[in-house]
Structure 1
Amino acid sequence: MGTPHSSRVLILTGDTGEGHHAAARAIARDLKRNHPTVAVQIRDGLKDMGLIVNALVRGGCLMQLQSSATNAAYGLLYEGLRRNRPLRSLAYSIAHTTGVEPLKRVITASGADLVVSTHPVVSVGLGYLRRHGRLSIPTATVLLDLGGLLFWVQPGVDLNVVMHRNIVQEVQRLAPCARCREARPIVDPVFYTPLDVNSARSAIGVNGDSPMVLVSGGGWGAGDLSGAIETALAETSATVICVAGRNERVRGGLRRAFRGRPRVRILGFTMHMHKLMAAADVIVHSTGGITCLEALVRGCPLITYGSPPGHAREYCQALAAAGLSRHASSKADLALALQETLTLPRPATPLFEDLPTPGQIIGELLCGQQAFTPVPISGERRPSAHCEEGLEAVS
């Protein structure tokens, strides 16, 4: 392992949602801030695993956006992979057979001293390479979700960096030979910069006296955004701002559906979520991921609603089980959650100063402060009871 001044870090992400890319960029900035001379490269590791893996994984995720039928089909596929060991083994076998060799070539060509993954399928490949002695450099996974741990946590990966202490115990159970470290949420530093409500509302052009509801479907504009907007309009007097991400079809449909409704504003992808969350009294979000971490850091009350079946729904339920959000499974639930949330004072912004950043933890590898010897792990892991039914706090 080289010194921090001569090290190279390869960060591998995947194009199945903006959160994976946002986390990769945040880790890169954090590493450069702590170790300015370290060379950091970001690549689409899912694409690097080859056409078959990329097409299967990305195509499966895109099923959520096509129709209610394909959305339901994706949910059944996800549940099958989560609960059925032979099906999961088959999926991993495809990833190992077709994706490991091209991934290994990319890592070798990069000259990296450390590889970091922000995508569970990439971690499948990294874990395989480490378990079989085909990759001599340390690897780390930065887990962006509180759910789907059976896929995120791969034996062979040296270090798992998690965003909340409630999942530490389960991660350690799934990968007992790896280190697990809790980090402060991996979001853009602007979310940690204080911004009062009045200044935020002035910046985005919203009346400072009326309530504001922010609706989000993540980078892909997934979930029941229309239902969330309709419920907010019917049950509150709030201004409703909806962020539809990069999904032009969804954004166009929402603009047509709510044309002439002065309390509604429809946006596409934006780099101003830190201002929107500071201005909002509550955010209604569908897909989990980085947006939920951003809301947690900003101290913006979070309601999850309209999540497509699969990993997003599992994550949203895990957030609620950890007491970090309210989960609404219907419009009636959402209406009640909005009414109750808007009557409460905004909670104090949580503090994370005592926690290291993911970049600081990863930097410890470059400084030689952590040593890892991955041990091959045989057999199949099963989710524990609290992984299936909720999250158990770590004492």
Structure 2
Amino acid sequence: MTVEDRAVIVSARIGAGHDGAAAELARRLRERGFDIACHDFLDLLPGRLGQRLCDAYHRELELVPRSWDLLLAAAGSAPLARLAGRLAGLAAPRLRAVLAAPPALVVSTYPLASQVLGALRRRGELAAPVGVYLTDPSVHRLAVSAHAHLHIAPNRHAAAAALRLGAPVAVAAKPVVAPGFRPPVPGERNRARDRFGLARGERLALVVSGSWGVGEVEDITEDVAATGAAHPVVVCGRNDALRERLRRAGVSRVFGWVEDMPALMRACDVVVQNAGGLTTLEALASGLPVLTYRSLPGHGRTNARVLDEIGLVPTVSRADLGHALHTARTAGLPRGADPADLLAVLARPAAVPARAA
């Protein structure tokens, strides 16, 4: 590899969506001849500040989730923007070290990383082009940097929102989903059910709530079961306490962290989610219909509104849940260029043509 082939991706372990998008972008860029270095923004902050920030976010979602409505509403305010800028700036010294050997491309999948990279560009400390991958269907101000060269959005609504918020260029592209997420071939659904100990011949609703297992998961599970339209299969992620509570409550189909989510999705008939993040796109890529129910406050609710408005994932009420579980149909993934092609062109405009959509 030459210096011109190097790319740096900055993500963050807050939830799994930012890291999931970063990992898949890294895989695709490697296929296009790039040498990839991935970094966690939280580890670029001084001392244990990054882990404390992650822990605080997690605790707030668990203990006072409704406060995230207020936080998101304030995301565009000047005081919060200045606070975010100062916090992002604390990562600048370590980020400069990461970028000391100039790469051909820098990509961010996390808003605060986008802010500090934009600041380095503004001050002339970063020559490489910067691409921002927006991981959510809805976009808030802190996710956009006026000094990034390109913002890649998972749908046209998000691209338009990024432009309104100051992105110089924003395009809608195919969502970044790992190739393992695909519809089952004949006979594969039953084999997957056997593997996970799930009954054949039942309609199964996969209840997901992110890698941290946050939100009204117990209520969602109870409501799904009460409809009689599907049997809930619950993934609690890394929330061991939630998994134990559900088991004590008599829920028999409960999983913690699942290494092979593509196979578990192929075992199920419909997905019920509360955040609208990467798992939603993975389910659609697997050919599953997806419903939003009891959304998380803050970004979960804004994501739900966008997904409903663009006709991708309906938001359902308790009164409509049973009918929706029975009749839900998959909408398929949005179409567009491959994000890795767009990023490759950004780094090597004269050498790498974008592939056809």
| TM-score normalised over the length of structure 2 | 0.88
Q: Does 1:72 align with 2:27?
A: no
Distance 1:172 1:209, change over 3 A: same
Contact 1:64–1:222 under 8 Å retained in 2: no
Instruction: Give distance in 1, aligned partners of 2:333 and 2:232.
Output: 25
Q: Deviations over 1:144-167 (max 9, x none)?
A: 101233221111011111111222
Instruction: Give distance in 1, aligned partners of 2:333 and 2:82.
Output: 42
Q: Deviations over 1:27-62 (max 9, x none)?
A: 111111222xx2111110232133486256424421
Paired amino acid for 2:347: L
Q: What RMSD over aligned residues (CA atoms) do the two structures have, in Å? A: 2.6
Q: Which moved more, 1:248-257 or 1:11-20?
A: 248-257
Q: What SS does the corresponding residue of 2:297 show, helix, strand or coil?
A: coil
Contact 1:53–1:98 under 8 Å retained in 2: no
Q: Which moved more, 1:95-104 or 1:116-125?
A: 95-104
Paired amino acid for 1:186: V
Alignment equivalent of 2:341, drawn from 356, 360, 364: 360
Alignment equivalent of 2:262, drawn from 267, 274, 295: 274
Q: Does 1:8 align with 2:2?
A: no
In structure 1, the residue matched to 2:326 is 342
Looking at both structures, which has the greater relative contact order when contacts are Cα pairs under 8 Å and sequence separation is at least 6? 1
Instruction: Give distance in 2, aligned partners of 1:53 and 1:154.
Output: 23
Distance 1:139 1:251, change over 3 A: same
Contact 1:63–1:74 under 8 Å retained in 2: no
Deviation at 1:280, TM superposition (A): 2.4
Instruction: Give distance in 2, aligned partners of 1:76 and 1:23.
Output: 27
Q: Deviations over 1:367-388 (max 9, x none)?
A: 22499xxxxxxxxxxxxxxxxx
Q: Does 1:174 align with 2:174?
A: no
Deviation at 1:288, TM superposition (A): 2.2
Q: Does 1:39 align with 2:35?
A: yes
Contact 1:171–1:180 under 8 Å retained in 2: yes
Q: Deviations over 1:63-96 (max 9, x none)?
A: 34442xx3233443333334xx232233233225
Alignment equivalent of 2:245, drawn from 253, 265, 275: 253
Contact 1:251–1:266 under 8 Å retained in 2: yes
Q: Which moved more, 1:134-143 or 1:335-344?
A: 335-344
**Unaligned stretches of 5+ residues in structure 2:** 353-357
Paired amino acid for 2:155: H
Deviation at 1:291, TM superposition (A): 0.6
Instruction: Give distance in 2, aligned partners of 1:86 and 1:158.
Output: 23
Distance 1:273 1:338, change over 3 A: farther
Q: What SS does the corresponding residue of 1:253 show, helix, strand or coil?
A: helix
Paired amino acid for 1:34: R
Distance 1:351 1:197, change over 3 A: farther
Q: Does 1:118 align with 2:109?
A: yes
Distance 1:60 1:314, change over 3 A: farther
| TM-score normalised over the length of structure 1 | 0.80
In structure 2, the residue matched to 1:146 is 137
Deviation at 1:350, TM superposition (A): 4.9
Paired amino acid for 1:78: L
Distance 1:334 1:295, change over 3 A: farther
Contact 2:230–2:325 under 8 Å retained in 1: no
> Percent identical across equivalent pairs?
28
Distance 1:280 1:273, change over 3 A: same
Distance 1:7 1:187, change over 3 A: same
Contact 2:158–2:172 under 8 Å retained in 1: no
Q: What SS does the corresponding residue of 1:172 show, helix, strand or coil?
A: helix
Give the number of aligned pairs: 349
Contact 2:207–2:233 under 8 Å retained in 1: yes
Q: What SS does the corresponding residue of 1:16 show, helix, strand or coil?
A: coil
Q: What SS does the corresponding residue of 1:202 show, helix, strand or coil?
A: helix
Q: Does 1:190 align with 2:183?
A: no
Deviation at 1:363, TM superposition (A): 1.3
Distance 1:111 1:135, change over 3 A: closer
